[in-house]
Amino acid sequence: MTATEIIVLVVAIAAIILVVGSIALVAGRKRVGPPTTPSVDSGAPDAALTPSPDQPLIVESSAPGASTTTLERPESIASRLVRLRQRLSGQGALGRGLLLLLSRDPLDEDTWEAVEDSLITADIGVGPTGELVEKLRERLRVEGGGADQAKAILAEELLALVDPGMDRSLNLVGPDGLPGVVMVVGVNGAGKTTSVGKLARVMVAEDKNVVLGAADTFRAAATEQLKTWGERVGVDVVAGPEGSDPASVAFDSVKEGLDRGADVVVVDTAGRLQNKQGLMDELGKVKRVIEKQAPLSEVLLVLDATTGQNGLIQARVFSEVVDVTGIVLTKLDGTAKGGIVVAVQRELGVPVKLVGLGEGPDDLAPFDPKTFVDAILSA
Ligand SMILES: Nc1nc2c(ncn2[C@@H]2O[C@H](COP(=O)(O)OP(=O)(O)O)[C@@H](O)[C@H]2O)c(=O)[nH]1
Ligand SMILES: [Mg+2]
Tens digits of per-residue pLDDT, 59-96? 222 233 334 456 666 777 777 767 767 777 777 888 99
> 3-state SS string over the chain?
CCHHHHHHHHHHHHHHHHHHHHHHHHHHHHHHCCCCCCCCCCCCCCHHHCCCCCCCCCCCCCCCCCCCCCCCCCCCHHHHHHHHHHHHHHHHHHHHHHHHHHCCCCCCHHHHHHHHHHHHHCCCCHHHHHHHHHHHHHHHHHHCCCHHHHHHHHHHHHHHHHCCCCCCCCCCECHHHCEEEEEEECCCCCCHHHHHHHHHHHHHHCCCCEEEEEECCCCHHHHHHHHHHHHHHCCEEECCCCCCCHHHHHHHHHHHHHHCCCCEEEEEECCCCCCHHHHHHHHHHHHHHHHCCCCCCEEEEEEEHHHHHHHHHHHHHHHHHCCCCEEEEECCCCCCCCCHHHHHHHHHCCCEEEEECCCCCCCEEECCHHHHHHHHHCC
Structure confidence at residue 13 (pLDDT): 53
| Ligand 1 atom closest to the CA of 302, numbered from 1 | 20
Pocket test residue of 194, 232, 335, 340 for ligand 1, highest count of atoms within 8 A of CB: 194
For residue 188, the CA-to-ligand 1 centroid distance in Å is 9
Q: What is the sign of the dihedral through the CA atoms of 274, 275, 278 and 281?
A: positive
Q: How far is the CA of 39 from the centre of ligand 2 (A)?
A: 35
Question: Cβ–Cβ contacts within 10 Å for residue 332, how many?
Answer: 28
Cα 155 to averaged position of ligand 1 atoms, centre (Å): 30
pLDDT digits (tens, 9 = 90+) for 130-140: 999 999 999 99
What is the rounded distance in angstroms from the CA atom of residue 341 to the CA atom of residue 290?
A: 29
Mutate to test the pocket of ligand 1, among 332, 359, 362, 364 (most ligand atoms within 8 A of CB): 359
Question: In this predicted structure, what is the pLDDT of residue 4?
Answer: 58
Which atom of ligand 1 lies closest to the CA of 355?
A: 27
Q: Tell me which residues have their CB closer than 6 angstroms to ligand 1.
A: 186, 188-194, 271, 302, 330-331, 333, 356-359, 363
pLDDT at residue 7, as a whole number: 54
Q: What is the pLDDT of residue 86?
A: 76
What are the 10-residue block averages of pLDDT along the chain, 379 residues in total? 56 47 39 31 28 27 40 72 73 88 91 96 95 96 85 95 96 96 96 97 93 93 95 95 94 98 97 80 94 98 94 92 96 88 96 94 92 85
Determine the Cα–Cα distance for residues 91 and 73; give it in Å rounded to an integer.
29
Q: Measured in angstroms, how far is the CA atom of residue 61 from the centroid of ligand 2?
A: 29
User: How long a stretch of residues is the chain?
Assistant: 379
> Do 193 and 228 contact (CB within 8 A), yes or no?
no
Please state the pTM of the whole predicted model: 0.81
CB atoms within 10 A of CB 214: 27
Contact 238, 213 (CB under 8 A): yes
Distance CA 178, CA 258 (A): 7
Which residues are within 8 A (CB) of 36 and not within 5 positions of it... i.e. 6 or more apart?
Answer: none
Alpha-carbon distance of 336 to 93, in angstroms, equals 7
State the distance from the centre of ligand 1 to the C-alpha of 202, rounded, in angstroms: 17
- pLDDT at position 1: 59
Task: Report pLDDT for 335.
Answer: 83
pLDDT at 49: 27
